[in-house]
């Protein structure tokens, strides 16, 4: 089921697949049914996971992928936390000091990247940083709002409003936390690092030296996955296995190049594309 059949021939040029995780390849801690045939169909083509979900460390994602039978190295997983850490390190004469609102895994990845963390009030900090915090307690919100009202800028990992779970359930995601902060302080984040920003795609291009026509982004969210692909000028492929419905896509201001029910259906197109 394609949104625009004239773009299907572009699949033959793809050397590296950029894959969203939640709602695209996995749902919660399990692989979606189409995942196995998709990876079997890739052959020599590369793949890299780009996830906005900052609630888990990179090590967690690698263990999850190994458990569900998908091979991946640390270079094949990029999170919005990685994008945030890159921004915090860029052009800094000293390590950035931040007040983090996030899980232990989020904080561990920031600390491993050389970012200095504090959990105290009234410190000299550079930023408040917001992640998808499944360990959220009220004190974190209170301290964060105090810093922001005092003029400390804040950054967020991703704009996702919810994180999809099995059986149609969702969790409040970082986008919901941004809305809370804006309601309380009247201030928007200075920058939101994950998709639809292109930072993670730019990191792949800098590291792997692929051309834009050799990259494709596959995801289930129009306002993050598909928008980031459009912003980066690469092939965008929407799947209907997560958040977005076909009606959502048809009503959206951003249109994917291709649309499939899931990555299993996409996999059925890949052998023909590889032979072109």
- Decide if 14 is inside a domain: yes
- Decide if 89 is inside a domain: no
pLDDT reported for residue 116: 96
Domain boundary, last residue among 140, 165, 192: 192
pLDDT reported for residue 206: 93
- pLDDT (mean) for 240-251: 91
Least confident of 10-19, 49-58, 265-274: 265-274
**CATH number where 164 lies:** 3.40.50.1000
pLDDT reported for residue 149: 97
| Among candidate residues 114, 111, 181, 131, the one with its CA nearest the CA of residue 152 | 181
More confident residue, 97 or 9: 97
3-state secondary structure (DSSP) of residue 47: strand
Token pair in block for residue 117? 């963390």
- pLDDT band with cut points at 50, 70 and 90 for residue 272: low
Q: Is the pLDDT of residue 271 over 80?
A: no
- pLDDT band with cut points at 50, 70 and 90 for residue 1: very low
Judgement on whether residues 175 and 213 belong to the same structural domain of the protein: no
pLDDT reported for residue 31: 94
pLDDT reported for residue 166: 77
Judgement on whether residues 105 and 175 belong to the same structural domain of the protein: yes
pLDDT reported for residue 167: 80
Query: Which residue in this structure is represented by tokens 């499944």?
Result: 134
User: Distance between CA 182 and CA 96 in Å, rounded?
Assistant: 23
- pLDDT (mean) for 144-157: 97
Judgement on whether residues 204 and 160 belong to the same structural domain of the protein: no
In this structure, how many other beta carbons lie within 10 angstroms of the beta carbon of residue 63?
12
pLDDT reported for residue 276: 42
Domain count within the chain:
2
In this structure, how many other beta carbons lie within 10 angstroms of the beta carbon of residue 60?
18
Domain boundary, last residue among 132, 166, 192: 192
Judgement on whether residues 99 and 168 belong to the same structural domain of the protein: yes
Entry field: residues in the chain: 276
Average pLDDT, the chain: 92
Domain boundary, last residue among 192, 216, 239: 192
Residues 228-238 pLDDT 10s: 999 999 999 99
Q: How far is CA 236 from the centre of its chain?
A: 14
- pLDDT (mean) for 44-58: 95
Judgement on whether residues 124 and 161 belong to the same structural domain of the protein: yes
pLDDT reported for residue 91: 67
Boundaries of domain holding 34: 5-52+195-275
- Decide if 61 is inside a domain: no
Q: Is the pLDDT of residue 239 over 90?
A: yes
pTM for this predicted structure? 0.90
- pLDDT (mean) for 136-141: 97
| Among candidate residues 246, 240, 245, 247, the one with its CA nearest the CA of residue 263 | 240
Judgement on whether residues 174 and 227 belong to the same structural domain of the protein: no
Q: Is the pLDDT of residue 2 over 60?
A: no
- Decide if 220 is inside a domain: yes
């Amino acid at each position: 089921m394609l949104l625009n059949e004239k773009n299907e021939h572009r699949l033959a040029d793809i050397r590296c697949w950029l894959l969203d995780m939640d709602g695209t390849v996995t749902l919660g801690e399990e692989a979606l049914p189409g995942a196995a045939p998709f990876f079997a169909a890739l052959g020599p083509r590369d793949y890299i996971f780009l996830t906005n979900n900052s609630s888990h460390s990179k090590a967690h994602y690698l263990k999850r992928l190994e458990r569900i039978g998908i091979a991946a190295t640390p270079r094949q997983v990029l999170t919005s936390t990685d994008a945030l850490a890159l921004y915090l390190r860029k052009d800094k004469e000293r390590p950035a000091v931040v007040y983090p609102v996030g899980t232990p895994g989020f904080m561990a990845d920031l600390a491993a990247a050389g970012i200095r963390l504090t959990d105290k009030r009234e410190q000299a900090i550079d930023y408040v940083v917001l992640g998808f915090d499944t360990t959220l307690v009220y004190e974190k919100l209170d301290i964060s709002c105090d810093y922001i009202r005092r003029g400390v800028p804040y950054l967020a990992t991703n704009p996702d409003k919810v994180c999809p779970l099995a059986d149609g359930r969702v969790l409040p995601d970082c986008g919901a936390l941004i809305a809370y902060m804006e309601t309380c302080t009247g201030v928007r984040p200075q920058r939101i690092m994950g998709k639809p920003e292109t930072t993670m795609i730019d990191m792949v291009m800098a590291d792997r030296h692929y051309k834009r026509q050799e990259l494709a982004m596959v995801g289930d969210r129009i306002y993050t996955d598909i928008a980031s692909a459009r912003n980066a000028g690469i092939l965008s492929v929407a799947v209907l296995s997560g958040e977005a419905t076909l009606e959502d896509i048809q009503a959206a201001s951003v249109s994917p190049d291709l649309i499939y029910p899931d990555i299993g259906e996409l996999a059925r197109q890949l052998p023909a594309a590889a032979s072109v």
